[in-house]
Amino acid sequence: MRLLVFVSLLFLSACASDQKMYVLNTRWKDAPQPMAMDYSDPNSWSALPERKDAADLIPHKSTLKDGQAEAKADVFFIHPTIFTYKPVNEYIWNASMSDAALNSLVDSSTILNQATVFNAAGRIYAPRYRQAHYHAFITEFKEDKAAALDLAYSDVKRAFDYYLAHENKGRPIIIASHSQGTVHATRLLKEYFDGKELGKQLVAAYIIGIATPKNTFTNIPVCSSANQTGCFVAYTTFLQGYLPPWHPGTVTELASVNPLTWSTDENFASKAQNIGGVSYGFKYVKEFADAQNHLGLLWTNVPYVPGRSFVKLKNWHKADINLYYQNIRENAVLRVNTFLSQK
C-alpha cells in the first residue's frame, strides 16, 4: 500500500511539473493549419451531457454521483494544453481535431480529472479545439504565439456560439477552464459576459492555472466568499515557501482564491479542510492537501500521504484541480443553488 501511494505521488508530480516539452523549429506562418470542425457534429466535443463520456465519471473509492441529468445549470469547460509532444503529422502549431490519439489523451486526462469536478453542478459541454502547441507559450516570436492562440480561440468561440444557439435555452452558466483553457475562457468572458446581457446568466467562472490580475474584468469581480455569484475563481499552485522566477517577490495584483476557504485572505487552511482530492488512477483521497494564498499565488505542502518526503516538486500547476477536487465540486453546487435562489 505504501508503495502504491508513493507511485501516486510520483504520478501527480509528473503531472504538475514543468516537464521538458518539444520545441518547434518552424514558424507559425510556414506551417499548415488543420481544418475547423463543425460543432453541430458531436465528434467535435470531448463532452456532451446527452451521451456517455469521460465527463460523466466519478472518482474511485468515492460515493459521488453524476448529477447532470437533474442539473439546472450548464458548465462550459475549456481544457488545457495536452499537445506538448513532438507532432506526429504536419499540423505542428495547432492540433488537428481529427487526431484520434490526441483526442483520446484529452478525454483520459483533463476531461476525466478536471471536467468531472463539475458534473454535480451542471451539464458539461467541453469542445475539442485546435489547441495551440505548448511551444506557443515559450516562443520568442510573439506574433506566432498570438496567431496560434487566436486560431484556438476561434474554435472555442464557435463552439460557444453553437452552444448558446442550440443548447443553453436561458440556463445558468458556469465557465470552467485550466491553463491554456483559461487564456481562452478569459477572452470569452470579456467578449460575452463582462458588462453584457449574458452576464446575468453567469453563476461563476473557475478560471484556474494562469496568473490572473484582479482587475481582469470590469464587471466580474474576484470571488471572495463561498456562495458569491457572478464572480471568478483563479489560482495557481506552488510549493509552500516557493516563488517562481517570474514572481516579483512583493505584493502583486494577482487574484488568488483559496479553494479550501473560498477567501482571498492569506490564512492557512489545513488538510482537515480538504474534503477530498484525486490521485493516480482517478482515486479519491481524503484530506489530500492544504492551501494558503501568498502574494497572488496558492501555496501547498506536498499531499499528505505516505512517501511525501520523497517528492521535491515546486510547481504543482497540472494538479491545480486534482488537489482540491471535492471542495471545488461542492462549491460549484453551492454557487448554482445560491444563484437559483436569487431568481
Q: What is the mean pLDDT of residues 83-104?
A: 96
Residue of 139, 140, 143, 163 whose CA lies nearest to 151: 143
Nearest-angstrom CA–CA distance, 250 and 323: 26
Nearest-angstrom CA–CA distance, 115 and 328: 11
74-78 and 123-127: which strand pairing? parallel
Partner residues linked to 124 by β-bridges: 75
pLDDT given for residue 291 in this prediction: 98
Share of the chain above pLDDT 90, in %: 89
Q: Name the CA radius of gyration of the chain, rounded.
A: 19
Q: What is the mean pLDDT of residues 250-266?
A: 97
Whether 3 has a pLDDT exceeding 60, the answer reads no
Nearest-angstrom CA–CA distance, 246 and 294: 15
pLDDT given for residue 11 in this prediction: 42
Structure confidence by residue, pLDDT tens digits, 308-343: 878 889 999 999 999 999 999 999 999 999 999 997
Structure confidence by residue, pLDDT tens digits, 70-84: 999 999 999 999 999
pLDDT given for residue 20 in this prediction: 59
Cell of 234: 483563479
Q: What is the mean pLDDT of the chain?
A: 93
Whether 15 has a pLDDT exceeding 90, the answer reads no
Structure confidence by residue, pLDDT tens digits, 260-312: 999 999 999 999 999 999 998 999 999 999 999 999 999 999 998 878 878 88
pLDDT given for residue 1 in this prediction: 42
- Between 127 and 18, residue with greater pLDDT: 127
Nearest-angstrom CA–CA distance, 314 and 312: 7
**Following CA atoms 231, 237, 240, 242 in sequence, which dihedral angle do they give, to the nearest 10 degrees?**
-110
Q: What is the DSSP letter of 9?
A: H
* pTM for this entry: 0.94
Nearest-angstrom CA–CA distance, 11 and 26: 32
Q: Of 4-8, 190-194, 288-292, where does mean pLDDT reach its minimum?
A: 4-8
Nearest-angstrom CA–CA distance, 106 and 228: 31
